[in-house]
Amino acid sequence: MNPFENRIPALSGPATDAVPVTPDDSADLSHVAIGLYIENAGLVSIVTVTGETRMLSVAGFSILPVGVRRVNATGTTASGVHALVLA
């Protein structure tokens, strides 16, 4: 049985996929993320769903619950970044 089969996706989650992210200064994510999962600590430079650029310090194995349209390469030192999406 698939509990997601007849469920309407909600912004409050859960995400339906975790997509690996290659940080890029000009290309948006293929789907706007409802959050990020970050495996290795560092800084992450993001463009939020509202278009604001933010630089955040994140711990390893953390979830950042913010709408993200892009993860910038410049300034991002965290690695193992995954976009949590409603694909």
For residue 3, what pLDDT is reported? 67
For residue 5, what pLDDT is reported? 75
Q: Kindly report whether the peptide bond that precedes residue 20 is cis, defined as omega within 30 degrees of 0.
A: no
- Per domain, the residue ranges of the chain are 19-85
For residue 9, what pLDDT is reported? 75
Among candidate residues 31, 33, 37, 59, the one with its CA nearest the CA of residue 48:
33
∠ at Cα 53 (24, 23), nearest 5°? 15
For residue 45, what pLDDT is reported? 98
Stretches where the chain sits below pLDDT 70 are 2-3, 13
Largest CA distance in the chain: 43
The span from the CA of 16 to the CA of 13, in Å, is: 8
